[in-house]
Amino acid sequence: MKTIKGVFWMAALRLFIRVISVLKIAILARLLNPLQFGLFGIASISLAFIEILTESGVNALLIQKKKVNQFFFNSSWIILLTRGFLIFLILLILAGPISYFFNSPDSYRLLLLISFVPLLRGFVNPSIVFFQKKLLFQKEFFFWFVVNTIEATTSIVIVFITCSVYGLVWGLILSSLFEVIVSWLFVKPRPNFKIKIDNIKLIIKRGKYITLSSIFNYFFHNLDDIIVGKILGLDYLGLYQVVYKIAILPITESGEIVSKVVFPVYTRLSSKRFRLKRAFLKVLMLLSVIIIPITLFVILFADNFIIFILGSNWLEVVPTLRVLMLFGAIRAISGSSSALFLAVEKQEYITIVTLVGLVGIVIFIYPFVIKFGILGAAYSVLIASLLSIPFMFAFSKKILNEKS
């Protein structure tokens, strides 16, 4: 019953977030041009890269661990706090070289401004992860409902007033500040500075595979952006990033909703392999039933979809949208396997699967972008995702066939 309620609340949350995201993109596409989206793209992929390099896997470990004492909880927060400060410093140092790499002086100040986002997020009370751990999805719904509403609203208002891409970053900063305040005022327990070094060592040791897989995952999902921005320029980067978000939103949401709910459920069933197998197969079937019709619908009516969301000026991205829809469907359906791997503490499986996909990206991305432009970038991520599927299902079969 808790799982069903969890799916309902997470579905409601993700639906709300994505409706807000689509509305935000639809409005901003009429206020900003592709070049401005490209500038924000440089800032966002740079921030994401440094966040991935410093990923600790704290949230996954807090869910995996059966009992979390106060010292372990405090240690987790100290790691997150330190990580936020490090990302802030690294972005300040690398803002110049990054803007030079993309031949974009205008991105320098944007990079400096966005560096405050991880600094603020480092102060967030990690207790919010217990919403998921304890299947308190109703509370999680209301928390993220407010945070995302503030982010979208402030971004649109500031961009509308200033006609500047800086409004997107200010939206992130203000929503991050609100997230910190609310997490400390209304979410318990609250961390303090009483820690044990052994706990920090354990978190770092247990999180190494999550860190490594996150690095591979970053390049798998962002190498196409980097190559497009470097070779084709910021206009095409802006086009590609917008269509990528539009393509991924409708279908990966179903996968992310279900995966987030089933992760703690899989964790509880990890010692009962027959029940785990039954739950996994049901989830896989559910995802397929939801995602495949949505994918086919958008592919068939891609022209109308783009005109409705972005306007007729964006029709050149229709072929890219169709290819990315297929990529998103594969990513969403296979997401249940990632939740399974984390639940049984086989983070290394995620690392291997992501590495296979990354190798595919590395092989195909450059020649495909040179020959086909942003459509080539879409083809490369689709092929890479297809290459990783056999490994993902082989590992899933191995786990599910093990004896309890």
Write down the mean pLDDT value for the chain. Answer: 81
Q: Give the whole-number percent of the chain exceeding pLDDT 90.
A: 19
Amino acid in position 395: F
pTM, two decimal places: 0.63
Do 105 and 117 belong to one domain? yes
Do 213 and 199 belong to one domain? no
- Last residue in a domain, options 156, 182, 206: 206
Q: Residues 329-350: pLDDT tens digits?
A: 888 777 778 778 877 777 778 8
207 — phi, psi (to 5°)?
-90, 0
Do 62 and 85 belong to one domain? yes
Do 197 and 238 belong to one domain? no
Q: Residues 251-296: pLDDT tens digits?
A: 655 666 666 666 667 777 777 777 888 888 887 887 788 788 888 8
Q: Give the whole-number percent of the chain exceeding pLDDT 70.
A: 82
Do 85 and 125 belong to one domain? yes
Write out the DSSP string of 280-336. HHHHHHHHHHHHHHHHHHHHHTHHHHHHHHT-GGGGGGHHHHHHHHHHHHHHHHHHH
Sequence-separated (6 or more) residues with CB below 8 Å from residue 188: 127
Averaged pLDDT for residues 185-190? 82
In three-state secondary structure terms, 195 is coil
Q: Residues 133-157: pLDDT tens digits?
A: 666 667 777 788 888 888 889 999 9
Place of tokens 């619908």: 297
Domain count, the chain: 2
Do 356 and 383 belong to one domain? yes
Do 258 and 156 belong to one domain? no
Note whether 375 and 237 are within 8 A (CB): no
Q: Give residue 353's domain range.
A: 209-404
Q: State the chain's maximal CA–CA distance in angstroms.
A: 61
Do 301 and 187 belong to one domain? no
Do 323 and 374 belong to one domain? yes
Do 32 and 99 belong to one domain? yes
Do 186 and 240 belong to one domain? no
Amino acid in position 369: V
The b-or-e profile of 178-190 (16+ CB within 10 A means b, else e) is bbbebbeeebeee
Neighbours of 194 (CB within 10 A): 11
Do 194 and 214 belong to one domain? no
- Last residue in a domain, options 172, 206, 240: 206
- Last residue in a domain, options 206, 227, 250: 206
